[in-house]
Structure 1
Amino acid sequence: MTGSAYRESTDRLAGMLMRQAAWPAALVVAANVLAPLAASARGAFETWPAAVALSLAAASAVAVLALSALLAFDALLFRLMASHDDETSGGAAVDDILAGMRLKRLPPSTRSLDERMAGTRRLLTRQRAALGLFVAMLLAAGFWAPR
């Protein structure tokens, strides 16, 4: 893919990734600020199922935040790709950056935009699964908390 269609689709993907990185992270941070207040007021730490659920919620919160950071990094890499005229030169620039940061070895050939997008979609799926686990564990802690 070349030209303005390539730049538009890559830039649109980068914008979507930034939104998908931001809102789950904001939700997790807000819930982590408010949940302990509600849990201690209701005595949620007094029962072991609620305490376990809150511990699992905390672990999944860390996973959501880490995956959000990875998605934001991917969004910046896609913005870098969008600054180039075609897919090949944009992919080569990203590969050079990643190799320079020692995050990946320089590949023998550049991956296509579709392959890069597939990897990012896998990250999105993992982030949503971690977010689902986080919400489920918060609800479970509320269910097991004493009345």
Structure 2
Amino acid sequence: MTDNDSRERAKRFARMLMQQAAWPAAVVVAANILTPLAASARGAFETWPAAVALSVAAASAVAVLALSTLLAFDALLFRLMASHEDEASSGAAVDDMLARMRLKPIPSAIRQFDDRVAGTRRLLTRQRAALGLFVVMLFAAGFWAPR
């Protein structure tokens, strides 16, 4: 793969990560604005199963927002990688930045681009699981709310 291809892959991945960080966070924020209005109108806090479901939904909402923040940070790191000429210098720049921010020590060997992508995809999977739990718990709270 040429250096231009790796830069283009990093740019595309960073763009995709920003989108994947933004829309779940927007869904959670919108739902958290609308849910208390609907829940109080229907008396959802009066039954313990609905209250528990709303509490679990709130906790998973926090997880979605935290993971969205991590994905946005990773997107910025991939943009940094895209600004360098080759894969080795881009990986070294990211490792140097993380070390200067005291988030990670400088590794003995530079991680490959595909390894970094795999780690970020694991974060995406966790975010989707938390978003799924959030949606299921909102529906469960609606199911258990008094009519």
Does structure 1 residue 15 correspond to structure 2 residue 46? Answer: no
The residue matched to 2:102 in structure 1 has which SS?
coil
Q: Structure 1 residues 71 and 54, CA, compared in 2 at 3 Å: closer, same or farther?
A: same
1:18-58 CA distance string (max 9 Å, x none): 00000000000000000000000000000000000000000
Q: How does 1:1-80 map to 2 (within 5 A)?
A: 1-80=1-80
Alignment partners' CA distance in 1, 2:73 and 2:15: 12
Correspondence for 2:97: 97
Does structure 1 residue 144 correspond to structure 2 residue 134? Answer: no
Structure 2: give runs of 5+ residues left out of the alignment. Answer: none
Moved over 3 A (4+): none
**What's the offset of the Cα at 1:2?**
3.8
Q: Which amino acid aligns with 2:113?
A: L
Alignment partners' CA distance in 1, 2:2 and 2:57: 44
**What's the offset of the Cα at 1:103?**
0.1
Structure 1: give runs of 5+ residues left out of the alignment. Answer: none
Indicate the RMSD between aligned Cα atoms, in angstroms. 0.6
Alignment partners' CA distance in 2, 1:35 and 1:87: 46
Q: Which amino acid aligns with 1:146?
A: P
Alignment partners' CA distance in 2, 1:29 and 1:134: 12
**What's the offset of the Cα at 1:90?**
0.3
**What's the offset of the Cα at 1:3?**
2.0
The residue matched to 1:18 in structure 2 has which SS?
helix
Does structure 1 residue 85 correspond to structure 2 residue 71? Answer: no
Give the paired residue count: 147
1:78-121 CA distance string (max 9 Å, x none): 00000001111000000000000000000011000000000000
Task: Name the % identity.
Answer: 79
TM-score by length of 1: 0.99
